[in-house]
Amino acid sequence: MEQYAIKGGNPLVGEVEIGGAKNAALPILAASVMTDETVYIENMPDVRDTNVLLSAMENIGVIVKRTDRHKVTLNASNISELVVEDENIKKIRASYYLIGALLGKYKHAEVALPGGCDIGCRAIDQHIKGFRALGADVKIEHGLIKTQAEHLRGSHIYMDVVSVGATINIMMAAVMAEGTTIIENSAKEPHVVDLANFLNSMGANIKGAGTDVIRIKGVSHLHGTEYAVIPDQIEAGTFMFAAAVTKGDVTVKNVIPKHLESITAKLLEIGCEVEEADDCVRVVASKPLQHTQVKTLPYPGFPTDMQPQITVALGLSKGTSIVTESIFENRFKYVDELTRMGASIKVEGNTAIIDGVSRYTGANISAPDLRAGAALVLAAMSAEGFSTVDDIRYIERGYEDFHLKLQGLGAQIELVETERDLQKFKLKIG
Ligand code: UD1
């Protein structure tokens, strides 16, 4: 079984290149089925979630060609199936983007209900509400969401909660609907804007993405395009916090600093130095970390996908910190693992009260989900001694070459598959 073996204690120093955003790439791939012409996408992250989606798309007849590791061309002119039941597709959250995309183009889609990280109940009522408002019938049967419409007609939709997934799905379903759709209280995340830009580059007419009101004028067809996915805000943020917890000095390259503002603000508050340039940020952690308070919020607030990483840092910060998780109700499961490394954290409902300790100690731990898994790797890199992190398949869902990028910054981390590999690593690090 694959796991990471880690010897902690090395400050991370150097430069790391950030890849394309997983959460932008997934809807962009799905939206590629909305044209019969060829779509060419660059800066595609080579991670498990995008690969699962690509193979599900191949299974319904999309011709997918990887021209190199980060470039892919897609042609959906010969789609043979509007039912997506692929065994793996259930495991990823973004499977539901095929509903909005296929419904928008073909007025019919049946897709296995989404999985994804187990971080809370993850309702889809807002997606369903949006599809119905556009005139589609929606039912859930035999583990599939089934949607069908004679015609899709533009509508005025008010979202009861700010949802990235529902905003994206409704946007795709509305792009080729008759008339105008207005989505109010929409999500403003960079990946929502990236999808809108992608669709507009295919001939869609979407305005207001990045604000809380999106206006979509339906068009009759979409054409092929060439498009580069934005850099991954969360991968970048994870490396920024890796610098903080290891007392390092890391330049995170190929980023959009504006997307990192809430992360940068918290790093400054806890005593790190952050320098921004056009497309990179440098984080230097030369002073002891200080306590703070943080509440996760929709963009431009502090991202829930960075909550475990900041908690790991606050666990090593002087004084008492408070982290409030306001997006998902079950996102502190990793705290038990962190406690085994010496953290002093009490979770009450959606709040973690953290008494900073001077160090963590290495332990054998398991990744409970994608972002918490990455955060536990950060904890292990900052810890005294040796750790193993199991269940790294979660981490591989969203981080490309995570251990290689960390090695490039001087971390002592190895991906091991057997007991023998593990012993070899232990001998090497002494
Ligand atoms: C996306 C991201 C995920 C990130 C999250 C919040 C992808 C593939 N995943 O997930 O990494 O953590 O945004 O930034 O992009 N909700 C409802 N009804 C709905 C939809 C959502 O009540 O129909 C609730 C959810 O339970 C949650 C909140 O709204 O409490 C936000 O969820 P949402 O923004 O939809 O998250 P995802 O799109 O699933």
pLDDT tens track for 349-381:
999 999 999 999 999 999 999 999 999 999 999
Average confidence (pLDDT) over 306-312: 98
329 pocket-lining for ligand 1 (C-beta < 6 Å): no
Q: Which residues are catalytic?
A: 117
| Confidence at residue 351, expressed as pLDDT on a 0 to 100 scale | 97
pLDDT band at 165; cut points 50, 70, 90: very high
Query: How many angstroms separate the CA atoms of 324 and 113, rounded?
Result: 29
* Residue 348, amino acid: E
Residue 203 has pLDDT above 70, yes or no: yes
Direct distance between the N- and C-terminal alpha carbons of the chain, in angstroms, rounded to an integer: 23
Residue nearest atom 26 of ligand 1, based on CA coordinates:
122
Per-chain mean pLDDT for the chain: 95
Query: 177 Cβ partners below 8 Å, 6+ apart?
Result: 104, 134, 135, 151, 152, 153, 154, 155, 216, 218
Contact 160, 126 (CB under 8 A): yes
If you measure from the C-alpha of residue 378 to the centroid of ligand 1, how many angstroms do you get, rounded to a whole number? 25
**Highest-confidence segment of 78-82, 139-143, 392-396:** 392-396
**Probe residue for ligand 1, chosen from 23, 124, 159, 163 as the CB with the greatest number of ligand atoms within 8 Å:** 163
* Between 114 and 112, residue with greater pLDDT: 112
pLDDT band at 1; cut points 50, 70, 90: confident
Per residue in 240-256, pLDDT tens? 999 999 999 999 999 99
Residue 430 has pLDDT above 80, yes or no: no
Residue 212 has pLDDT above 70, yes or no: yes
Average confidence (pLDDT) over 187-215: 98
Is pTM, for the whole model, over 0.85?
yes
What are the residue ranges of helices labelled H in 73-215?
Answer: 97-106, 125-133, 164-174, 190-201
Average confidence (pLDDT) over 100-118: 85
Residue 86 has pLDDT above 80, yes or no: no
If you measure from the C-alpha of residue 380 to the centroid of ligand 1, how many angstroms do you get, rounded to a whole number? 28
**Probe residue for ligand 1, chosen from 164, 235, 395 as the CB with the greatest number of ligand atoms within 8 Å:** 164
| Confidence at residue 112, expressed as pLDDT on a 0 to 100 scale | 87
Number of CB atoms found within 10 A of residue 176's CB: 22
| Confidence at residue 88, expressed as pLDDT on a 0 to 100 scale | 75
Contact 52, 29 (CB under 8 A): no
If you measure from the C-alpha of residue 335 to the centroid of ligand 1, how many angstroms do you get, rounded to a whole number? 21
Contact 31, 101 (CB under 8 A): yes
| Confidence at residue 116, expressed as pLDDT on a 0 to 100 scale | 55
CA trace torsion 136, 137, 142, 145 (10° rounding): 20
Ligand 1: which atom is nearest the Cα of residue 125? Answer: 23
93 pocket-lining for ligand 1 (C-beta < 6 Å): yes
Ligand 1: which atom is nearest the Cα of residue 124? Answer: 23
Number of CB atoms found within 10 A of residue 149's CB: 21
Average confidence (pLDDT) over 403-416: 97
145 pocket-lining for ligand 1 (C-beta < 6 Å): no
Residue 118 has pLDDT above 90, yes or no: no
| Confidence at residue 137, expressed as pLDDT on a 0 to 100 scale | 97
Q: Name the nearest CA neighbour of 328 among 298, 288, 359.
A: 298
Query: How many angstroms separate the CA atoms of 59 and 79, rounded?
Result: 9
pLDDT band at 121; cut points 50, 70, 90: low
Per residue in 18-49, pLDDT tens? 999 999 999 999 999 999 999 999 999 999 99
328 pocket-lining for ligand 1 (C-beta < 6 Å): yes
Average confidence (pLDDT) over 164-173: 97
**Probe residue for ligand 1, chosen from 119, 161, 192 as the CB with the greatest number of ligand atoms within 8 Å:** 161
| Confidence at residue 117, expressed as pLDDT on a 0 to 100 scale | 57
| Confidence at residue 193, expressed as pLDDT on a 0 to 100 scale | 98
